[in-house]
Structure 1
């Protein structure tokens, strides 16, 4: 059984009288791929922001490998092995694909005016380009890339910010957002591959074909509370989840068959 690496305990975030998160608890074992789903306004993005350090929770704790992340800025969390992506891909449009990755690989060191970015850790950068399936576009300007490639690049950049060794956690905020069906399939195959290689993945998603058939486990947030936590098959049949989110006509098998 895999060791639990991420522990979320009593996580709450209030905005005035609005309880965006209301006492959320869950664990994620090492190497597991977990989807966090729920309707708009459920608290998914707030939860991610608290885990990644963009927001400070009102109460509760987030433990990574037994160490509290509270009070640690995103850069320090990244050094500890925690990185995130965003709903809209965050890349440097004026640079090439390879340069985007090289810049993140060396983000802990300032670039002097005489430095050449192209020379920075080129071997490691090329490995990440290949992992993201972007070899053909390695030297292309990011501004010229289709959106699906930009999403894969952002994922490679998140990996670049982490150590090549040691446990790592990827927080992916809607990795398949804005992608066509075939692009979603490619993206989620990459996410699944990372998990099988030992990266712990927690992601939010609205496209159910990017959840069922991909995630090892599904968490369901509704109105800031975790209402379900289990294997995809069990969550798809949960009466409360069907009534309040998926709908009574949701057919997991039919969904997966339609996208094969």
Structure 2
């Protein structure tokens, strides 16, 4: 990604399915190295917006620019090559493979070894080296040989981030990383996300766990009925009567 342009620019994003408007006129700019939280009531359009950014869904109006490059018509894998990575609300690990092998598959895909993804790993090969580094970065090195299916939900989330790191993304979309995570795992996962951002990556995160999100992000973007209601610092946004009304039904 270009160093002198915003990591992400959404220009008037709209999405209409049938007669229903899902997104309308969403314009948002995210600077390189910034962490922005996306919040809003259920059905506000947050995950749909992530689908548009990552290429899962093509908007009916507007443009998606990554580092100034228009990628609106590009597919998911094409956007991934530009440095975009994403996690999803539901776990996306291979439960029968151990943690190292899960990350190794992501590393092999990045290294261009897609034709031999299921090759038995060799000690010291490039993909295994990347996998070990990424697993250590999220604090799962002691579980490298553990089957992903038996990890706690919080550790599965860490594993997904390790898999993401193996693809070397510059812009990361985290879709509700705390969903389903037990209270005992929250602090560790927060620290992983903080390190992910601290490494210089740009992060856009949807999260319902407000205390966690407000303690991590630089700015908050509030979605409501498919529109961008407010954008600003956590304190300013949470004091906004329009935001309070969207969440609680009336200003407080």
TM-score where L is the length of structure 2: 0.91
Structure 1 residue 115 corresponds to structure 2 residue 104: no
Structure 1 residue 125 corresponds to structure 2 residue 127: no
CA contact (8 A) 1:96 1:141 kept: yes
Aligned residue for 2:36, secondary structure, equals strand
Structure 1 residue 90 corresponds to structure 2 residue 92: yes
Aligned residue for 2:214, secondary structure, equals coil
Cα gap change, 1:136/1:49 in structure 2, threshold over 3 Å: closer, same or farther? same
Unaligned runs of 5+ in 1: 251-260
User: Deviation at 1:192?
Assistant: 1.7
User: Deviation at 1:189?
Assistant: 2.0
Cα gap change, 1:65/1:113 in structure 2, threshold over 3 Å: closer, same or farther? closer
User: Deviation at 1:111?
Assistant: 4.1
Cα gap change, 1:113/1:32 in structure 2, threshold over 3 Å: closer, same or farther? closer
Which residue, 52, 56, 69 being the options, matches 2:58? 56
User: Deviation at 1:12?
Assistant: 0.7
Which residue, 203, 215, 236 being the options, matches 1:213? 215
Could you say which residue in structure 1 is the equivalent of 2:228? 226
TM-score where L is the length of structure 1: 0.89
Could you say which residue in structure 1 is the equivalent of 2:12? 10
Unaligned runs of 5+ in 2: none
Could you say which residue in structure 2 is the equivalent of 1:256? none
Cα gap change, 1:113/1:147 in structure 2, threshold over 3 Å: closer, same or farther? closer
CA contact (8 A) 2:245 2:251 kept: no
Distance 1:234 1:42 in 2: 20
Distance 2:146 2:248 in 1: 40
User: Deviation at 1:185?
Assistant: 2.4
Aligned residue for 2:37, secondary structure, equals strand
Paired residues in the alignment total 245
Distance 1:112 1:52 in 2: 26
User: Deviation at 1:112?
Assistant: 4.0
